Amino acid sequence: MGHLVLIPTPIGNLEDITLRAITELKECDLIFAEDTRTSGNLLRHLDISKPLKPFHLHNEHQSLAYVINQIKQHAKVALVSDAGTPGISDPGFLLVRACIEEGIRVECLPGPAALIPALVVSGLPCDRFCFEGFLPHKKGRQTRFKQLLEESRTMVFYESPHRLIKTLQQAAEFFGGDRQAAVVREISKKFEEVNRASLDDLLKHYSSIPPKGEIVLVIGGLSKYEPDQEEEEDSLDVLLRGRQKRKKE
């Protein structure tokens, strides 16, 4: 029986692909892609020629049986998304779940995912965070925001440029317009932008300058108290001791 390997692809700059990802793409027998045109361009850039078949949001339920059958027949089948790690806010998780149910080995390579660089560059606390992916387009948006009212961790969302203003408006209504946030656009691309401000200020900015490109919205969590200097020093001391212990081990 074959196995499935999930291969992350660059979210912008093609140089972000790993050497291991290139090796795995060269060694696999078949590749399933969210968009065969996008993945085809990447494969041509890497000078890799492999059979390429679609597996995307519009056909995943119908094609699961076919894909599982192909995996069982081939030694190694790869799954790639348009950009980033397959299974993160895309239908790849359905295939992973189906493979596990069928007893098929699943492997996932480490690699690009937009949420991590956006979180780090936002300047908001990133020791603890929650990833919310894409908000529901219509029904369920307000319910999701209500569920996050008491969230103290930094929150990370994926959003389209067409819905960013609506999301900023609703976030300001539920979390307060002074809540700190960051809009990170076009990560690792030529026109990468990081805009750090309050939700109200971000809303004003993008209402006058319509956003473009791939967007990650990072919103600070609910601050229940402001730690005094002594508490901050204690936290830093614990962190440093932990690092020293790991180095000794």
User: Which architecture does CATH list for 115-219?
Assistant: 2-Layer Sandwich (3.30)
pLDDT of res. 241: 67
Q: Please, is 69 exposed, middle or buried when counting C-beta atoms within 10 Å of its C-beta (0-12, 13-18, 19+)?
A: exposed
Where are the domains positioned within the chain? Answer: 3-108, 115-219
Q: For 163-179, write each residue's pLDDT tens digit.
A: 999 999 999 999 999 99
Asked if 29 and 53 touch (Cβ cutoff 8 Å), the reply is no
pLDDT of res. 223: 85
| More confidently predicted of 107 and 233 | 107
pLDDT higher than 80, residue 227: no
H or E element at residue 144 = helix 141-147
Q: For 27-73, write each residue's pLDDT tens digit.
A: 999 999 988 999 999 999 999 999 999 887 676 667 788 889 999 99
Asked if 14 and 43 touch (Cβ cutoff 8 Å), the reply is no
pLDDT higher than 90, residue 226: no
pLDDT of res. 63: 79
Q: What percent of the chain has pLDDT over 70?
A: 88
- Give the number of other CB atoms < 10 A from CB of residue 58: 9
Identity of the amino acid at 122? S
pLDDT of res. 200: 98
Task: For domain 3-108, give its CATH number from 1.10.4160.10, 3.40.50.970, 3.40.1010.10, 3.40.50.150.
Answer: 3.40.1010.10
Extract the tokens encoding 12: 């912008």
Strand partners, 190: none
d(CA 215, CA 213): 6
Q: What is the mean pLDDT of residues 211-224?
A: 93
